[in-house]
Structures are given as structure tokens and as C-alpha cells.
Chains A and B, each alone.
Chain A
Amino acid sequence: MVMFLRHFAVVSLIFFPPIFSQFAGLSDVSISQDIPIEGEITIPSRARAQEHDSSTLNESIRRTIMRDLKAVGRKFMHVLYPRKSNALLRDWDLWGPLILCVTLALMLQKSSIDGKNDGGGPEFAEVFVIIWFGAVTITLNSKLLGGNISFFQSLCVLGYCILPLNIAMLICRLLLLAGQGPINFMIRLFVVLLMFAWSVVASTAFLADSQPPNRKALAVYPVFLFYFVISWMILTFTP
């Protein structure tokens, strides 16, 4: 073993210097001017990006969570006061829709003590499936009709525009604490209708622009149906 190493050292001393001299010769040849280099050599900016990534890695958890929460909250504001801005579309995220969907599905659970579900209200999984598969179907429909909105942007908008209906559900649950009755029902109907209209208006403010003008109604109708079904689930909720 030691003999082999010695021989290897001798061989390397003999052969490597010529190889190095070959490479030394090559260093005189400037290749970069003759052969165009393809791709991006963005080493300085990558170093900066790495610094940026490591800075978010090193920051406190509270700051990370607050940053995401602030983004979600900003989008909530955009939904509540729908303006034709692109903030919702540009930085899409699915945290908000998830929070809203889970909250709505939890609120739609019956608070019965015996825990029996007599074919009554929707299960948690049913609400979840309806919201997410409904949103996916509407997005696919919108893209098939030739809309130029991306898949996740559309999911983001549809999910965030459930916020008014969440507020309606909250109000309905509070109203139902006061007992049921025809007046109670009329107030609940009014609130749900109002929030349903708000949802539809908010989502069409974002989605309708992405469709060619002769197909806007075709793309908006499924949104209307989607929020109608959710409103129906909210209205027929009995504790």
C-alpha cells in the first residue's frame, strides 16, 4: 500500500507538470470573446439573493408569521372594498382561502350534543370539497373559455371572496342564538343576500377583466352559482 502511494507520487510528479503547463497555455487563450456564453451568469445578484434568503431564514418566527398575516389581511381589505387593483392577482397566496374555508366549514357544523347527523347539514368534508372543487372547476372553466388569468390567481380570488359569506355566517350564528322565528329568518335572509351580492361583485371585479368581452357572462355565471350554493348552505343552517 505504501509502495503504491510512493509510485503514485512519483508518477504524478512526472506527469502533472506537463498537464499544468498545458493548462497554463490555455489560460492565455481568451475563449470568452470567440464563443458566446449562453445562460445567465448572475453571480453577484445570486449572492444578494442568498443573503436575502438567509436573512428570512434567520429572522424570528414572529416576524415571518406577521408578514404572511399582514399579506392575508391586506387582501381581506381588498375584498371588502373591491377596487380594480391588481394586488390580489399579483401576489396570490392560498393561506387566506384555507383559513376562510376551514372557518366556514367549522361554523357550519351542528352543535348537537348527541353528535348524530341525520342527513341534515353538510359535513366538514362536504363543505371543504364543495369550496375547493367548485373553485377549481370555475377556474378550469374560465381558462377553457380563453381567459388569461393563471390557475392559482383565480383560485386565490375565488377563495378570498368567500370572506363576506364568512361574515354572514358569523352574523347568522349570532342571530340564531336569539332563537328562531320568522323575523329572525327575514333578517338572516337579508344579511345572506347582501353578502352574496358583495361576494359576486368582488370576484367579478377581479375575474371579469380577464375574459374576452363576448364571454364575460359565461365566465361569471359559474361564480354566481358557486356563491349561491354556499349562501344556501349558510341560510339553511340550523343549530
Chain B
Amino acid sequence: MAAADELAFHEFEEATNLLAETPDAATTSQSDELTSREHVAVVVGSGIGYGAEVGEEEDDKTSLLQEEKPQPRFWTFDYYQSFFDVDTSQVLDRIKGSLLPHPGHNFVRHHLRNRPDLYGPFWICATLAFVLAVTGNLTLVLAQRRDPSIHYSPQFHKVTIAGITIYCYAWLVPLALWGFLRWRQGTRERMGLYTFLETVCVYGYSLFVFIPTVVLWLIPVQWIQWLFGALALALSAAGLVFTLWPVVREDTRLVAAALLSTVVLLHALLALGCKLYFFQPLPLDHVVPAPQATPPSPNVLLPSSIQPMTTS
């Protein structure tokens, strides 16, 4: 027993030497509240459960012990470079995984494999914002083709609004979700919690399915637009729910249901808002009230297109 104790203690010391430069080591290895060495050895060995409580991104670095590399500080360039450590094939694989969710298919565990990246969420949001603005503009062009009385203008401000909305959604909602899950978890050490970056990844990749949907919204038939919208929302929300289910399943039934329905609701609100703001249904036949009601100056484009919505 004494030999085993000594062995465990040496492991612990080696681990502390390897982790000596990270702030986590100070909290895990040198704290005096830890009672048994076996507990300490287990904690250091499997960084996931305990690390989630101490640091955010360091918990997937069980490989840190093998690599013996100090964790870069957040003000160095290398820290952010670690979030872009993906290949083309990995990004494509993650996109495919987000497009085809099925129960038991945990996006984080299967596709991210504890290596979240920031490339996907950032550029998917950028693409979605620009595609929204461009196709919204194209809808206007096509509508003007059918009905020359509608005034066309490039509506460049929509790019700004689209960008701000998408980026706020894709970064603030995961922050709120992650904070809520951390609060619910409390001090229980569980393996199921996702890091902030993984949550951002899940949301970012789940927004990918909206990109082809937005392009398909060019088709001016209303019921096709709603159908595609509902389909995209279902796929995207299903991906989110299947990923979050293992984490909330251990919580009370009420909280789990409330959380999942809030997530789906927010997603639906985003889809609906995009559809209504960027693709206002312009009337095909009866545009007679609109051009006569509005003054000839062109800067009332939006009100003129809202008016048919209220009158029709």
C-alpha cells in the first residue's frame, strides 16, 4: 500500500510539473483540500470532468499531458491559432454532420471530437449574412421585373442589419445557454458539459442549413418558401436538440423541457425574422393601392412594401 501510495504521489508530481505553467495546476494540484492522493491522480489524469469546472478550453487537453506543451496565454496569437486548427476535410465533415442529424448522433462528440474550431461558426455566419442581403435584394429585382412600379434600390443597409443579427444570435445565445447549463450543473462533476466553444460550434454549424434555404427562397411562391423554411428549421433545431439532450437529460423534466423549447423557439424566431424582414412578400397582382398611396419620392420603399401586407 505504501508503494502504491508513493507511485500515485509521483504521478501527481510529474503531472504538476507538466502542468506547472497553466493556472489550472495551481488550483488542482496544490490545493490542500484534496484529501486522497488517489483522488488527485484521477483528477489530473482525466481532465475533462474536473477541468470543466476550472478552465474552459483546457479540459480537452488530456493530450496536453502527452504533448508536454504549455498552454498559450489568451493575449498571444498562438492561443487563437489553436481554434483554427482544422483541415478542409474536417470542416466539410462537420457541415455534413450538421445537415443530417439523427437521434443519438451527438454533434459535439461525433464530429467535433473535443476539438472545436472557430473557423466554421465565423464564416458560416458571414456567408449567411451576405447571402441574406444578396438574395433579399435579388427578390426585389425579380419583383420589379414582374411589376415595374416597385422601386428598386440596392438596400445596402440590410447587409449591416443582417450581419449584426446573425452574429449576435450565433454568439450571445450560446453564451447564455452555456452560462445556464453551468449554473444548473453547479458543483456536480459530470462529463456531459460542453465548453463555450463547443456550444458556439454547435450553433454555428447548425446555421449552415439556412444558407441553401435562403437561396431557395428566391422562388416567389409563398407556400414553397414556408415549406423550405419549416424544413430548414426542423433540421437545424433537431441538430441542436439531439446535441443538447444528453446534457439536460439528467436535470429535472421541467427544466429540460423548458430549455429545449426555448432553444427551438429562439431558432424559429430567427428564421421567421429573417424571412419576414428580408423577403417581404411583395404582391404580384394587386399593387394598385401601393404606388398611388405613396409619394413619388423613392425613400419610402420599406413602408410601401409593408402597406400591401397590411392591406392585402
A215 contacts B130, CB within 8 Å? no
- Complex contact A214–B154 (CB within 8 A): no
Do B152 and A232 touch across chains, with their CB atoms under 8 A apart? no
What residues of B have a CB within 8 angstroms of the CB of A82 in the complex?
none
Q: Is the CB of A120 within 8 A of B154?
A: yes
Q: Are the C-beta atoms of B152 and A118 separated by less than 8 Å?
A: no
Shortest beta-carbon distance from A121 to chain B in Å = 5
A49 interface residue per 8 A CB criterion: no
Given A120-B154, A225-B126, A238-B154, verify A218-B81 contact (CB < 8 Å): no
A120, A218, A225: which contacts B130 (Cβ < 8 A)? Answer: A225
Q: How far is the CB of A217 from chain B (nearest CB, A)?
A: 4
CB nearest to B157 among chain A residues: A119
Decide if A237 is an interface residue (CB 8 Å cutoff): yes
Majority DSSP secondary structure for residues of B touching A: helix
A153 to B289, CA, bound (A): 56
Q: Give the bracket for the number of chain A residues in contact with chain B.
A: 20 to 34
Task: Check: B285 CB closer than 8 A to any chain A CB.
Answer: no
Known: A126-B156, A144-B80, A237-B154. A118 touches B299 (CB 8 A): yes
Select which of A121, A144, A228, A236 is within 8 A of B81 by beta carbon.
Answer: A144
Task: Pull 16 A–B residue pairs with CB atoms less than 8 Å apart, ordered by A.
Answer: A116-B297, A118-B153, A118-B299, A118-B301, A119-B156, A120-B156, A143-B77, A214-B87, A222-B126, A225-B126, A228-B130, A229-B130, A229-B159, A233-B154, A238-B153, A238-B154
In addition to A225-B126, A237-B154, 16 A-B residue pairs with Cβ atoms within 8 Å of each other are A118-B297, A119-B301, A120-B153, A121-B153, A121-B154, A121-B156, A144-B119, A146-B84, A214-B87, A215-B88, A218-B88, A218-B119, A232-B137, A233-B154, A236-B137, A238-B153
B contact set with A: CB distance below 8 Å: 77, 80-81, 83-89, 91, 119, 122-123, 126-127, 130, 134, 137, 141, 152-157, 159-160, 297-299, 301-302
